[in-house]
Structure 1
Amino acid sequence: MSPRQAAAYLRRMIRTVRIASVLLVLLLGGVWAVAWFGRAPGESVADAFLRRIAALTGSDMPAPSTGGIQLAQGVALGGPFTLVDQTGRAVTERDFSGRPMLVYFGFTYCPDVCPTELGTIAAALDAMGPLGERVTPVFITIDPERDTPAAMADYVSRFHPRMVGLTGSAEQIAQAARAYRVYYAKVRPRDSTDYLMDHSSFIYFVGPDGRVRSLFRPETTPEAIAAAITSQLRAL
């Protein structure tokens, strides 16, 4: 190829790249506009944009998670577990099959964060009205040493009449925590003979298929959680 031909070829490539860049910008701008005007109630523009891109590419993106954390594609949370409910009955994930859940990991001796987040779950379900009756609130202890079925029964009854409390052996709790990637550790405050549990504090929305659809950070408002779950339940 002569220098003149090479220069002509380079000019054509630059022109092609420029045209492709302009078309890509126009396409993304169009998708953003569609996302803006076609987003679901309570859904952010960013979540709607990702959903539209997923539809164009054929990818399987998680449902919108307004007020929560969007799970990255390929990230899976949740899974099989064998635990004991507050009545002393052995249960597995199959007992909840087909039922959406709001799941929180904590412990009954928690001084502040756990009761706050469980109260948020209860308030979110109440804010959803009749639709909230489709969602089962679940509290899983990370302190099975003290949280017996009787202790769990007393504790969950303070927050919501349908809340399920789950405990089990240390090994069973560890398995469930690993499935949800929950961090927890026993800590003993200075000058205290008792211990507390340090733990992550996310609320998990689990779809009827047992897959975690979205996470909610600590201190997310009940209204934001209710809006997110309502949007996702209507899409199921």
Structure 2
Amino acid sequence: MSTKSIAIAAVALVAVGIGATVWYATRPAADDPFAQCRVSSVGGGAAAIGGPFELVNEDGVTVTDKDVFTKPTILYFGYTFCPDVCPLDNMRNADALRILDERGYDAQAAFISIDPERDTPEVVKEFTSLFHDNMIGLTGTPEQVKAASMAYKTYYKKQEDGDPEYYLVDHSTFAYLVFPEIGFVDFFKREDTAEQMADRVACFIDAAG
């Protein structure tokens, strides 16, 4: 299966899996403090996505979500062996951070590996260092990674019919905006550009006061 086919299949499966949880709305709720920033809405409210987790950071230290989300964070689930989707998405996320940096906003990115079998803290650290100094790499046990993935309603599945060493992993490609104390506030699609992401992150930061 080609990389393009993998990406399309992953997105399709996420659409089926999340289904009624996420949909695009033209009119945000009037009582939403971030209404002017949103281009999407979440079934059940923002609290339906996100939650506590425990993972291992790129320095080998066990951390919780509270340790990670110390500032507005663009969160992405992927893996370092991903041939093109993950590098492209993480470069876009890093570019959004650079735009925010230039505008005077303090934000960061976080990358959670969904391939803990290969993505050790050392491997994840090398990967994130390619994109931005303010990108945090996270991995963990299969159980820890699965719990974090379930909290954010993401999808991933190892391809069992490939090479046992050079296998690929189908996965969803949403990026999430998470604030300390508040939690998940919005998500980004693959077609969102770095400029669009930076504009929306800045809007949320301004609205949060």
Q: With structure 1 as the length reference, what TM-score do the two structures score?
A: 0.71
Partner residue of 1:70? Answer: 41
Counterpart secondary structure, 1:181:
coil
- 1:41 alignment partner in structure 2: none
| Residue of structure 2 aligned with 1:123, choices 83, 95, 118 | 95
> SS of the residue aligned with 2:190?
coil
The secondary structure found in structure 2 opposite 1:174 is helix
Counterpart residue type for residue 195 of structure 2: E
Structure 2, unaligned runs of 5 or more: 1-25
Structure-2 separation of matches of 1:200 and 1:168: 19
Tell me, in whole angstroms, the C-alpha distance in 2 between the residues paired with 1:64 and 1:183.
29
Q: Going by fraction, where is helix more abundant, 1 or 2?
A: 1
Aligned residue for 2:55? 83
Match of 1:95 in 2: 67
Match of 1:149 among 81, 105, 121: 121
Give the SS at the match of 1:80: coil
Match of 1:198 among 139, 148, 170: 170
Give % identity: 39
Q: Is the 8 A contact 1:156 1:165 kept in 2?
A: yes
Change in Cα spacing, 1:176 to 1:63, as seen in structure 2 (3 Å) is farther
Matched-pair contact (CA < 8 Å) for 2:79–2:119 = yes
Tell which structure's C-alpha radius of gyration is larger: 1
Equivalences for 1:37-76 in 2 at 5 Å? 46-47=26-27, 50=28, 54=30, 59-60=31-32, 62-66=34-38, 69-75=40-46, 76=48
8 A contact 1:189–1:196 mirrored in 2: no
Number of matched pairs = 182
Counterpart contact for 1:104–1:140, Cα < 8 Å: yes
Which letter maps to 1:184? Y
Listed one character per residue, the Cα deviations across residues 128-160 of structure 1 (whole Å, up to 9, x for unaligned) are 235565212100000000000000111100000
Aligned to 2:185: 213
Task: Normalising by structure 2, report the TM-score.
Answer: 0.79
Q: Write the mapping of 1:12-27 to structure 2, written as runs, cut at 5 A.
A: none
CA, structure 1 residues 132+200, in 2 after alignment: closer, same or farther (shift >3 Å)? farther
- Any conservation in 2 of the 1:139–1:156 contact (CA below 8 Å)? yes
Equivalent residues of 2:69, 2:178 under 8 A apart:
no
| CA apart distance, 1:232 | 0.8
Residue 146 of structure 2 aligns with an amino acid whose one-letter code is: A
Structure 1 residue 189 displacement after superposition? 5.2
Moved over 6 A (4+): none
User: 1:64 touches 1:228 (CA, 8 Å); kept in 2?
Assistant: no
**Cα separation, 2, equivalents of 1:138 and 1:180:** 13
Question: Structure 1 residues 230 and 148, CA, compared in 2 at 3 Å: closer, same or farther?
Answer: same
Equivalent in the alignment of 1:176: 148
Contact 2:73–2:108, Cα closer than 8 Å, also in 1? yes
